[in-house]
């Protein structure tokens, strides 16, 4: 019998772009392919891409497909929360939040957090991989996408 271990990871960084520009880039739940370097394809399979309840399937560079549900979105507070609902990764009860906070008119603090249970394998190795390959890489991708205009 295997036991699960809950992990929490986060990444953050300052991006030289106004909060509205970043929010325009990410507030469409189907838009992740435009800014996340590891995502090669994204399609909405249920709901509206800017409303809670929407579901998307993202395909990663390694061919892995992951189904995610938009749990909450707030244009006023510049954040959205989503959950991985189908994945080949050994995780369950996943929840991630991507949040932006204006530091001034031209800089934004980006913060991405994730919590999930690891149901198989070494939780630290999986958490480190998700942090580096999803969160850190995503914030770097946002920085590149926002400053390449």
- Evaluate the CA torsion angle 126, 37, 146, 24 in order and state its sign: negative
- Between CA 34 and CA 53 the distance in angstroms is 21
Q: How many domains does the chain have?
A: 1
The residue ranges of the chain whose pLDDT is under 70 are 1-2, 149
Neighbours of 125 (CB within 10 A): 10
CATH number for the domain spanning 107: value is: 3.30.530.20
pLDDT of residue 1: 42
The helix (run of H) or strand (run of E) holding residue 56 is: strand 55-60
Give the tens place of pLDDT for each residue, 82-96: 999 999 999 999 999
Per the structure, the complete domain to which residue 41 belongs is given by: 5-147
| pLDDT tens for each residue of 31-51 | 999 999 999 999 999 999 989
pLDDT at 127: 96
Which pTM value belongs to this model?
0.93
């Amino acid at each position: 019998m295997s036991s699960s271990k809950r992990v929490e990871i986060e990444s953050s960084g300052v991006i030289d772009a106004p909060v509205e520009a970043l929010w325009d880039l990410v507030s469409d739940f189907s838009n992740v392919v435009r800014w996340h370097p590891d995502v090669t394809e994204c399609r909405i399979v249920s709901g509206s891409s800017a409303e809670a309840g929407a579901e998307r399937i993202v395909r990663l560079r390694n061919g892995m497909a992951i189904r995610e549900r938009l749990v909450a979105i707030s244009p006023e507070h510049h954040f959205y929360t989503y959950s991985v609902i189908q994945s080949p990764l050994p995780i369950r009860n996943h929840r991630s939040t991507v949040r932006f906070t204006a530091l001034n008119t031209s800089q934004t603090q980006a913060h991405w957090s994730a919590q999930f249970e690891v149901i198989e394998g070494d939780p630290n190795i999986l958490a480190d991989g998700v942090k580096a390959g999803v969160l850190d890489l995503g914030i770097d991708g946002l920085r590149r996408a926002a400053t390449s205009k």
